[in-house]
Structure 1
Amino acid sequence: MRTWLIKLRKEKRYTQQEVASKVHIDRAYYAQIENGTRNPSIFVAKQIADFFHIHPSVFFTEHISDPFQTALLHSPIVLAHCGRDLRYTWVFNAPPPHSEEVLLGKRDDELDVNEGTLELMKMKQDVIHNGKPRRKQIRFPLHEEFVTYDIYAQPIYDPPGTIIGAATCSTRLS
């Protein structure tokens, strides 16, 4: 079951029929994609992803190569993409207490507002605006303490060379 897709659709207040119509597929096929009984083709995954402003690879995350997943799963490293609007379009190894499902389609300030999240958003916005990578250590409050991440961000380009977002690699230091 792709609960993240169902949640994203419901948050945007769309029915399955509305999404299917917008991406030019049959509603029954879309329902099978949502409930996980069918995988979309790459073309259909891209259409749905474009509609929801997410990265199409989220449909195939469970098929990521074992060495990649084994090396990073449960590590202190979080990988993510966001669009120009700073909404997460792809996340791997989300930091607790969040999950990939919770982060998709959200901005950091919709999850929590603190100095760390605001600084992270400013960093990503600078990367998107200036087109230059940045690296910075940012502290985030977590319960009664602070957690520091070393964050590297770089722009993401579409095939014609237009900046469409930012990719980040965050490593927990403490």
Structure 2
Amino acid sequence: MRDWLIQLRKERKLTQQQIAEGAHIDRAYYAQIESGTRNPSMAVASQIASFLNINTFLFFPEHLSEPFTTALRNSPIIVAHCDLELRYTWMFNPHPDFNTDVIIGKRDDELDHNEGTIGLMKIKRKVIETKKPIRQYVSFPLSDGLITYDVFAQPIYNDGNQLIGVATVSTELLT
């Protein structure tokens, strides 16, 4: 079951039919993709992702390279992408306070409102405005205390060299 996909559809007040039409696929096929009984091809996943403005690889988390996932899973590193509206389109290895199924399609200030989320959003906006990478420390009040991350943010471009969002790599600092 792709709960994250169902939740994203419902939050955007879309029907399965609307997404299927937007992705140029059959509604029944989309329903099977959403329920997890069928996996989309890369082309179909790309069409759905394009319509929903999310990262295609959300459909294929198992296709991240084994060394990458082994090295980063449970590490103090979070990798994420967001669109130009600062809504998450992909995330890997979030802090335990956050669930990837809930994060996709949301901005930081919709997940929590504090100085850390405001600071992270400012970094992302500046990357979009300047089209240049930024590295800065940001502190977040989380369930296990105030945690400071070394955040590196850089612009993401599509194949047509158009800015489509921001990629971030956040490393938890030892205090």
The alpha-carbon deviation at position 65 of structure 1 amounts to: 2.0
- Quote the Cα distance in structure 2 between the aligned partners of 1:67 and 1:79: 15
Secondary structure of 1:86's partner?
coil
Question: Residues 100-152 of structure 1: CA distance to partner in whole angstroms, max 9, x if unpaired?
Answer: 11110000000111111001000011011101101011111124731100100
Length-normalised TM-score, structure 1: 0.96
How big is the alpha-carbon RMSD for the aligned residues of Structure 1 and Structure 2? 1.2
Paired amino acid for 1:129:
E
Secondary structure of 1:154's partner?
strand
For residues 6-85 of structure 1, the aligned pairs below 5 Å read 6-85=6-85
- Quote the Cα distance in structure 1 between the aligned partners of 2:120 and 2:108: 8
Paired amino acid for 1:97:
D
Question: Residues 47-102 of structure 1: CA distance to partner in whole angstroms, max 9, x if unpaired?
Answer: 11111110111111122222111111111100000011000001001112102111
* Match of residue 122 from structure 2: 122
List, as ranges, runs of 4+ consecutive aligned residues in structure 1 with deviation greater than 6 Å: none
- The answer to which of 84-93 and 64-73 deviates more is 64-73
- Quote the Cα distance in structure 2 between the aligned partners of 1:10 and 1:163: 27
C-alpha spacing 1:144/1:46, structure 2 compared with 1 (3 Å)? closer
Paired amino acid for 1:156:
I
- Quote the Cα distance in structure 2 between the aligned partners of 1:107 and 1:13: 17
- Are the aligned partners of 2:97 and 2:143 in contact in 1 as well (CA < 8 Å)? no
Length-normalised TM-score, structure 2: 0.95
- Are the aligned partners of 2:97 and 2:142 in contact in 1 as well (CA < 8 Å)? no
Paired amino acid for 1:171:
T
Paired amino acid for 1:18:
Q
**5+ residue gaps in structure 1?**
none
Secondary structure of 2:49's partner?
helix
**Percent of aligned positions that are identical:** 58
Question: Residues 21-53 of structure 1: CA distance to partner in whole angstroms, max 9, x if unpaired?
Answer: 221111111011111121111111111111111
* Match of residue 154 from structure 1: 154
Secondary structure of 2:10's partner?
helix
The alpha-carbon deviation at position 10 of structure 1 amounts to: 0.9
Paired amino acid for 2:162:
T
- Quote the Cα distance in structure 1 between the aligned partners of 2:117 and 2:83: 16
Paired amino acid for 1:87:
R
**5+ residue gaps in structure 2?**
none
Paired amino acid for 2:128:
I
Paired amino acid for 2:113:
V
Paired amino acid for 2:167:
A
- Quote the Cα distance in structure 2 between the aligned partners of 1:137 and 1:127: 15
